[in-house]
Amino acid sequence: MSRRTGMRIASILVLIASWWVAAWFTPPEVLPGPFVIGKTMVRILLEAGPEGNSAYFHIGITLLRILVTFGAAMLAGVGLGLAMGLYKTVEYSLLSIIPLLLTMPTILMVFLAVVWFGFSEVGSMVAVVAVVTPFVTVNVAEGTKAMDKSLVDMAKSFKANKKMLLRSVYIPQLMPYLMSAFRYAFGMTWKIVALAETFGLKFGIGYMFFFWFEQFDMEQVLAWILLFVILMLIIEYGVIARFERQAFAWRKSFSMAG
């Protein structure tokens, strides 16, 4: 085991131990211990939940909401960002609006979306798009402007068509910017979706936080929160990070460097 993995595991163990100690001094209805929560998590995953819906149903709904709103926000951001980087007119017209949206506190954005669209799928999507899209747009626009023009000239001198340019020259150069936008967008999306679910949407993981919170069942609330965090970590480090490593393999293989 490398020193790095060793330290990582140790820090998690320390965290669980501190939790266990804290739970020792706290009434169980306020802070249940780690072992009880672990058992509750297993029970949630194995047994049918309240209202006849299993945990997988709620997890599925939440993932679907994240996927759809995230997709919409990314698509809008990448499109606007490319347009902004390539065309001065678009850049100048968006330049005054974007900082406005970027400065707006996230929680206020969600609040406004709720006031205008109610606690609905549309409301949460509007909130996500309003918060995430400006950030993605700025990132992609930066990337578009930072592209190496000399490579475009090279491709043109060999008469590469638009499709080849996009596939082999533009997109690979945009990848670092796309990935950082992607990570941020994903993180923001799941936080907003969880918020919307907790305070208004029917079904989903956030809905379960609130359901159990109303029943003063801290065991269930904490178990659901932990499940949610673990799920997002798996997506973040298992899926996104793996994809990133593959996409940037050409950068890190300095095995034969001269």
Partner 1 sequence: MAATVVEVKNLTKKFPAPGGGQEFVVLDSVSLDVKEGEFASLVGPSGCGKSTLLNVIAGIEKQSSGDLTVHPAAASTDGVIHVGYVFQSPRLLNWLTVEENVKFALEAQAIPREEWQGRVSKYLEMVGLAGQEPNYPLNLSGGMQQRVAITRALAIEPDILLMDEPFSHLDEITARKMRMDLMEILERAKTTILFVTHDLREAVYLSDNVYMMSTKPARIFKHVHVDLERPRKPEDPRLFDMEKDLVQEFFAVLEKQSV
Contacts with partner 1 by CB under 8 A lie at 150-151, 153-161, 164, 168-169, 172, 175, 250-251, 253-258
Q: Within the chain, what is the greatest distance between any pair of CA atoms?
A: 74
Min dist CB 122 to partner 1, Å, is: 39
| Residue closer to partner 1, measured from CB, 153 or 214 | 153
Q: How far is the CB of 248 from partner 1 (least distance, A)?
A: 8
Q: Which is nearer to partner 1, 2 or 150 (CB)?
A: 150
Minimum CB–partner distance for residue 84 and partner 1 (Å): 24
Q: Which is nearer to partner 1, 24 or 158 (CB)?
A: 158
- Residue 155 Cβ, how far from partner 1 at the closest point, in Å? 7
Minimum CB separation of residue 87 from partner 1 in Å reads 20
Tokens of 87: 């065309």
Closest approach of Cβ 99 to partner 1, in Å? 29
- DSSP for 62-78 reads HHHHHHHHHHHHHHHHH
160 or 240: whose CB is closer to partner 1? 160
Question: 72 or 165, CB closer to partner 1?
Answer: 165
CB burial of residue 257 (10 Å; 0-12, 13-18, 19+): exposed
CB of 142 to partner 1, least distance (A): 19
CA–CA gap between residue 98 and residue 60 (Å, rounded): 33
Between residues 3 and 159, which has the closer beta carbon with respect to partner 1? 159
Smaller CB distance to partner 1: residue 103 or 255?
255
